[in-house]
Amino acid sequence: MNKVILTGRLTKEPEVKRTASNKAVMTFSLAVDRHDKDKNTDFPSCVAWGTTADLIAKYCHKGDKIGIEGAIRTRSYDGNNGKVYVTEVLVSEVEFLSDRKQTEQTSGDEYEDMF
């Protein structure tokens, strides 16, 4: 079984790109807290396609809390210094967890210094 469920905050303002066939695609990362004694945070790479990508771009902003469900995917491509391997979450569902008032009060600046 390959199923991933994550809750975190968007680290950047979402931006949809279009393929040559005009299909929406969005690559983003989430700040996901670990809840260990050191309070570490992970930043998994995520990819959303089609309507899911459009919805995230329309209703979410940097710093907003979202929940995603998907599957881990690995892929590779030839880079300048040889083969590059990428692991990312292919998003199948999204749930918006920030309410409108919270979104207006949170600018997402707490993640600005991490990138």
Mean pLDDT rounded to a whole number for the chain: 89
Q: How far is residue 83's CA from residue 69's CA, in Å, rounded to a whole number?
A: 28
- 109 occurs within a structural domain: no
**Domains contained in the chain, number:** 1
Q: What is the pLDDT of residues 26-66, one digit of tens each?
A: 999 999 999 888 889 999 999 999 999 999 999 999 999 99
- 114 occurs within a structural domain: no
Structure tokens at 59: 């209703």
Domain carrying residue 63: 4-103
- 113 occurs within a structural domain: no
- 112 occurs within a structural domain: no
Alpha carbon 104 to its chain centroid, in Å, reads 20
* CA atoms within 13 Å, Cβ hemisphere of 40: 6
- 30 occurs within a structural domain: yes
What pLDDT is attached to residue 88?
Answer: 97
What pLDDT is attached to residue 99?
Answer: 73
Indicate if the pLDDT at residue 95 is higher than 60: yes
| Cα torsion through 64, 69, 74, 77, rounded to 10 | -50
